[in-house]
């Protein structure tokens, strides 16, 4: 076999199943270790941040974690739907008639604003409107990630945007609020009134 033909056949060779299963085991172990470390360090939402940190480390190292089977993606969607449905308390919906117009108006305004931003992003950067919309929508990262997977958007970009937003809110906003309340809001009795 000529060397050029041998090089082409080597390049076309599919990845070995052992290698793929080894990567799956390594990814599972990394996710478990990162989750347990997140719990031990008392990070906010450790069961959520642990797997994300492990996936980010895999991606940064140049070997993307294995893709999930479609059955697991569907199970994740079902689990989220059941969890959110069980979280709705009918006793808390007493004044729903009064709040319905505000809820609808606020929801439509947020969706319109996210659509405008995503359209601008898709014009400025080489990303689809689907990806930009899911990345900028103020929903949960888990829900947006699963939705991105279903509509074939760029899951890594959606999760990166959502993760930045969540980490910013978890780690930066509390300190900014604490500082602003301490320095900008005057304590009672510290006004400029007459002594």
73-99, pLDDT tens digit by residue?
Answer: 788 778 878 887 888 777 777 777 888
A 10 A CB-CB count for 18 gives 8
More confident residue, 3 or 119: 119
Alpha-carbon gap, residue 69 to 176, rounded angstroms: 41
Q: Give the H/E segment covering residue 178.
A: helix 173-183
Does the structure show a pLDDT above 60 at 192? Answer: no
Lowest mean pLDDT: which of 14-23, 43-52, 181-190? 14-23
Answer whether residue 112 shows pLDDT above 90: yes
Mean pLDDT of the chain: 78
Selected residue with higher pLDDT from 15 and 68: 68
Whether pLDDT at 168 is above 80:
yes
pTM of the model: 0.56
Closest CA to 52 of 156, 185, 187: 156
Task: Name the more confident of 170 and 1.
Answer: 170
- The model's confidence at residue 120, banded by pLDDT at 50, 70 and 90, is very high
**151: phi then psi, degrees, rounded to nearest 5:** -90, 10
pLDDT at 194: 46
pLDDT, mean of residues 145-174: 83
Q: How confident is residue 108, by pLDDT bands cut at 50, 70 and 90? A: very high
Q: What mean pLDDT comes out for the span 107-130? A: 91
pLDDT digits over 19-68, tens only? 556 667 877 788 889 889 988 988 777 887 788 788 778 777 777 666 77
């Amino acid at each position: 076999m000529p060397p050029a033909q041998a090089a082409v056949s080597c390049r076309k060779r599919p990845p070995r199943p052992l290698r793929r299963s080894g990567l799956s085991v390594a990814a599972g172990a990394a996710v478990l270790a990162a989750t347990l470390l997140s719990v031990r360090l008392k990070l906010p939402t450790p069961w959520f941040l642990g797997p994300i940190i492990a996936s980010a480390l895999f991606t940064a190292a140049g070997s993307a974690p294995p893709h999930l089977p479609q059955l697991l993606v569907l199970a994740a969607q079902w689990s989220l739907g059941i969890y959110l449905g069980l979280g709705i308390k009918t006793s808390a919906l007493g004044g729903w008639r009064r709040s319905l117009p505000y809820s609808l108006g606020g929801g439509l305004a947020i969706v319109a604003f996210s659509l405008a931003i995503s359209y601008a992003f898709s014009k400025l950067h080489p990303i689809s409107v689907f990806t930009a919309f899911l990345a900028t929508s103020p929903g949960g990262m888990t829900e947006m990630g699963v939705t991105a997977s279903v509509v074939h958007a760029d899951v890594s970009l959606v999760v990166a945007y959502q993760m930045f937003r969540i980490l910013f809110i978890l780690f930066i906003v509390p300190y900014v609020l604490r500082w602003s309340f301490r320095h900008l809001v005057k304590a009672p009795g510290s006004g400029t009134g007459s002594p």
